[in-house]
Amino acid sequence: MRRLLPAAVLVLLSAGAAAAPPGAEACSGCHPATRAEGAPPPLAGQPADDIAAAMQDFRTGQRPATVMDRIAKGFTDEEIRAIAVWVARAQ
């Protein structure tokens, strides 16, 4: 049984932020919204190119890491690009 919603509600629902690409919303589990003592850097506001490049370097092991190497290996080039663009803009 699927309950369908009136058109006005659909407009309301779609007015929210652009849907996050797969995996992107997990970043805020560790990366704070603003700079914080001891924490990894905030992502919002950084250039998407820099975030994507960092992810690529974590994945290849070129950039030293504690957990980001293990996480970056789970994403393709396309996924990394989409995540970088989204988190760079996210609030």
Give the 3-state secondary structure of the chain: CCCCCCHHHHHHHHCCCCCCCCCHHHHHHCCCCCCCCCCCCCCCCCCHHHHHHHHHHHHHCCCCCCCHHHHHCCCCHHHHHHHHHHHHHCC
* Min CB(56)–another protein separation in Å: 14
Cβ nearer to another protein, comparing 21 with 53: 21
DSSP state for residue 30 in the 8-state scheme: T
Cβ nearer to another protein, comparing 22 with 47: 22
User: Is there binding between residue 7 and another protein (CB under 8 A)?
Assistant: no
Interface positions, 45-74, toward another protein (CB under 8 A)? 66-67, 70-74
Interface with another protein (CB under 8 A): 1-6, 8-10, 12-17, 19-20, 22-23, 25-26, 28-33, 36-40, 66-67, 70-75, 79
